[in-house]
Amino acid sequence: MALSLINMVMHLVLLAAAPPLMLGLIQRTKALLAGRKGPPLLQPYYDLYKLLRKGIVLSKTATWIFRAGPMVTLVAVLLGGLLVPFGTSAAPLHFQGDVILLIYVLALARFFTSLAALDTGSSFEGMGAAREVTFACLSEAALMLGLLVLIKFSGSLSLNTMLRAPAMHAFAMLPVASLMLAAVGMFIVLLAENARIPVDDPATHLELTMIHEVMVLDHSGPLLALVNYGAAVKLFVFAALFLHFVPPVPSASPALNWAVFAAEMLGVAVAIGLVESLMARLRLTHVPTLLVAASLLCGFGFILMLR
Amino acid sequence: MSMATTPDTPWQRLAVLVNGRALPKSAVPELSITDFQQAILGGVARQCRVAALFGMPDRTSPDALWLYVVLADDDSSRLRLGRTRIGDNSFPSLTPACWQVHLFEREIAEQFGRVPVGHPWLKPVRFHRSYQPGRDAWNRPAEAEIAAGVMDFYQVKGDQIHEVAVGPVHAGIIEPGHFRFQCDGENVLHLEIALGYQHRGGERALAAGPGPRSIHYAETLAGDSTIGHATAYCQAVEALGGIQKSARAQSLRATALELERLANHVGDLGALSGDVGFTSTQAFCGRLRGEFLNMTAVLCGSRFGRGLLCPGGVRFAPDVSAIDALRRSLVRAEAETRQAVELLWNSSSVMARFVDTGVVPRQLAIDLGMVGPAARACGLNRDARQNHPSGLFRFTHIPVATWESGDVFARAYVRFLEVQRSCEFVCQQLDSLPSGAVRSPLAPLAADSLAVALVEAWRGEVCHVVLTDEQGCFERYKVVDPSFHNWAAVAMALRGGQISDFPLCNKSFNLSYCGHDL
């Protein structure tokens, strides 16, 4: 009981505090590979603090939806973070069928971000929302197919059981080919869902090329802080989700398990930084091809399990 | 040239001049407006370009306006000049028959209130009042405010069509310009570009010269082409004054011009990689651009070459140790640039973005009268250093870099080739820098004369046409920045393209806003 309480506290603390650090790690990786020093690791925290102290500029045409967008999105992704187990420790919130809830809260987050973007009436943000939902149709399919692999393997519809199943089984028992295919697919979903290169460029200032950033162009001050924090949490949750497809062997020591989780998350951040440094963005018209490829990879992973 | 056949076509009556020389105004033939336009069409049919077409008030009669044309005959390295006098408030537009004059005619309409009748796209260029009060091509009342970018934009109607307006304030630290897209989803049906936000009155300030300020006005016509415009100004003044430059001065000018090209091309290649999210080349080229700028600073103390040139030569001469340092840093920077840029050609993800994006067909480039790397990327052999050599380029040639495909890749690759050739050229110059004085004494300018100076600045051909009055003061100073020719090509390159590719495409041209707005 005490152990699960500690695990739960660890989960909550990490979910709340660690996501911006992940952004800092990605930035640092990119900077080092480009031969730059880069901003401090904690820069995303400083930025959030700075934004929280600023005022908010609201467009005359914006309604309550514009203000609700970042809040609903943040709450939704935080809820998602409670459903996904971090590493080999149990998730704080779990019940049979919660995988459906995860997909829905992520969709809710996207729905409100897009709605807030449309609420501004700006042609840029309308364009961004259109791109976001178009690509979401494809990345959600990949996500669900990827999750199906683990549902099939574990026979459970609860994230807590199905995601941790690979770590709980001996290596010889694992459907390695399926997991590898799904892992590649899920990594693409991770990049696409979190507006990373090659799908989107989080660092660009060119509105016409953006997807996620252009949707939040009108948000400022504390609202922008919520948006940025929400985006960081989403990245963290997706990274934690992705890690279950490349599971480590759990040890007897919970502390070691958490250390392994932290190391794995660092690995994901470095991997994202590597991808962003080594390749350019795709042409927007080629993004669907990539997302369909992710769906196919996850789908084949699933098919391989149907004997 | 087939001179023999019919000796008296309007085209053959045009005066012949070479770049960097002057001739008396009276030697420029006065043609009727019909012959004038036939001469332009005749020249264009013989692969000439319209380098400048501009109006000049006639001091003898306030109702009349001179129109001057400078045609650049690239194959024979000759310029052909003609003029006509139009009286009343309109003249027939040549644009439907010759696209490359479209912006020149709009400019004449805006500056002198003469309407080119039949112009398909008659809108203001820079949004200022007519130079001649009381004459306005659009009959705007004298008290009405004229604001940049306020005009009727071309619109596409339909349920699926949406309009996207970008600028004049942009997210990046760039100059102001307004871009209006008519889109069907992500596809661009039409792009209209409204400039004029940077109009400072550069031409008119120059026309008040020559004076101590004139060279500085020229240097700031387009800040990133300081050497290009200053060289053109100096050449025009030297042509009018009959001033000979020393070999050392010419070598230093050419060196500075190529260093300016190097800094900007390397910066552009970095910015292009940044636009597709390829961070390593972006970061390296950003630093290397600074190295090249610093080399110009070694020459004159200013990273942008301000104050280096003066009529008669240059103001500064580097000593032996500076030349040595310059050469060393150039060799190092060249090797690093090559390494950083070759990453682009070796990355399939970058090439997938560059290839086939923003294609300008060769014929369109000819029709629009494009110049500079953008024209050479369409396979056109247009380079004023080669076609109309002046200064040192009469003796030392830099091979012209061209590519055929006309897309973003071609514009990037031409820059890459030019970087290598310019580095080689600058090294040669530094190895064999002639000795001697760097500044020749000035002489009074010839009265009632006209001089043309063409300089291949990094962005393309800079053209300065200077006319003097009976005292030898400037009467009209016409500046044509390469951007003036090329902006229309940006709009055309986007047609049928993706709106998300616009920033990349725009950057591959990297045209000047203030060079256009003057």
- Quote the DSSP letter at residue B136: -
Write the pLDDT tens digit of every residue in B487-509.
Answer: 999 999 999 999 999 999 999 99
pLDDT of residue A136: 93
Is the residue at A18 inside a domain? no
pLDDT of residue B2: 45
CA distance B284 to chain A (A): 7
Q: Which of A36, A126, A197 sits opposite B283 (nearest CB)?
A: A36
Q: How many domains does chain A have?
A: 1
Segment (H or E) for B261: helix B247-275
Contact present, A129 and A79 (Cβ < 8 Å): no
A113 contact partners, CB below 8 Å, separation of at least 6:
A69, A70, A73, A129, A132, A212, A215, A216, A227
Average pLDDT, integer, range B279-304: 92
Domain layout of chain B by residue ranges = 10-117, 161-194, 202-517
Average pLDDT, integer, range A163-173: 87
Is the residue at A148 inside a domain? yes
Candidates B181, B183, B276, B502, partner chain A, best to mutate (most A CBs within 10 A): B276
CA distance B353 to chain A (A): 6
CA distance B376 to chain A (A): 25
Of residues A109, A125, A108, the one with CA closest to residue A117: A125
CA distance A133 to chain B (A): 14
Position of tokens 């940006």? B490
B75 contact partners, CB below 8 Å, separation of at least 6:
B47, B387
Average pLDDT, integer, range A3-8: 86
B72 contact partners, CB below 8 Å, separation of at least 6:
B48, B49, B50, B51, B79, B387, B388, B454, B461
Predicted confidence band at A252 (pLDDT cuts at 50, 70, 90)?
A: confident
| Cross-chain Cβ contact A33/B280 below 8 Å | yes
B170 contact partners, CB below 8 Å, separation of at least 6:
B176
C-alpha to C-alpha distance for B199 and A264, rounded to whole angstroms: 56
Q: Phi/psi zone of residue B423: left (φ > 0), alpha (ψ -120 to 50 degrees), beta?
A: alpha
Q: Is the pLDDT of residue A122 over 90?
A: no
C-alpha to C-alpha distance for B380 and B367, rounded to whole angstroms: 12
Percent of chain B with pLDDT over 90: 69
Q: Residue B353: list chain A partners with CB under 8 A.
A: 280-283
Q: Which residue type occupies A173? A: M
Q: Is the pLDDT of residue B132 over 80?
A: yes
Q: Which of residues 132-191 of B touch A (CB under 8 A)?
A: 162-166, 171-172, 185-186
Q: Which residues pair with B65 in a beta bridge?
A: B57, B86
Q: Is the pLDDT of residue A180 over 90?
A: yes
Write down the mean pLDDT value for chain B.
91
Between B135 and B342, the more confident residue is B342
B432 contact partners, CB below 8 Å, separation of at least 6:
none
Between A61 and B308, the more confident residue is B308
**Between A and B, how many CB-CB pairs are < 8 A?**
89
Note the Cα B58 to chain centre separation in Å: 27
Domain B10-117 belongs to what topology?
Beta Polymerase; domain 2 (3.30.460)
Note the Cα B326 to chain centre separation in Å: 28
C-alpha to C-alpha distance for B230 and B225, rounded to whole angstroms: 8
Lowest mean pLDDT among A201-210, A219-228, B329-338, B376-385: A201-210
Segment (H or E) for B51: strand B49-57
Is A202 an interface residue toward B (CB < 8 Å)? Answer: no
| Cross-chain Cβ contact B172/A206 below 8 Å | yes
Of residues B342, B336, B328, B267, the one with CA closest to residue B295: B328
pLDDT of residue B318: 86
Domain B202-517 belongs to what topology?
Cytochrome-c3 Hydrogenase; chain B (1.10.645)
The backbone torsions φ and ψ at residue A28, rounded to the nearest 5 degrees and listed phi first, read -65, -45
Write the pLDDT tens digit of every residue in B89-102.
Answer: 789 999 999 999 99
The backbone torsions φ and ψ at residue B418, rounded to the nearest 5 degrees and listed phi first, read -70, -35
Is B280 an interface residue toward A (CB < 8 Å)? Answer: yes
Percent of chain A with pLDDT over 70: 100
Residue A160: helix, strand or coil by DSSP? helix
Predicted confidence band at B136 (pLDDT cuts at 50, 70, 90)?
A: confident
Q: What is the pTM of this model?
A: 0.91
Angle CA B258–B260–B262, to nearest 5 = 70
| Cross-chain Cβ contact B162/A277 below 8 Å | no
Average pLDDT, integer, range A137-150: 94
User: Which segments of B65-214 are extended strands (E)?
Assistant: 65-73, 78-86, 90-92, 115-117, 161-166, 178-184, 187-194
Average pLDDT, integer, range A64-92: 94
Average pLDDT, integer, range B315-339: 91
pLDDT of residue A146: 95
Note the Cα B338 to chain centre separation in Å: 27
Write the pLDDT tens digit of every residue in A286-295.
Answer: 999 999 999 9
Write the pLDDT tens digit of every residue in B414-445.
Answer: 999 999 999 999 999 999 888 888 888 888 88
Is the residue at A9 inside a domain? no
Predicted confidence band at A102 (pLDDT cuts at 50, 70, 90)?
A: very high
Average pLDDT, integer, range B99-111: 93
Domain that holds residue A99: 47-304
Q: Which residue type occupies B217? A: Y
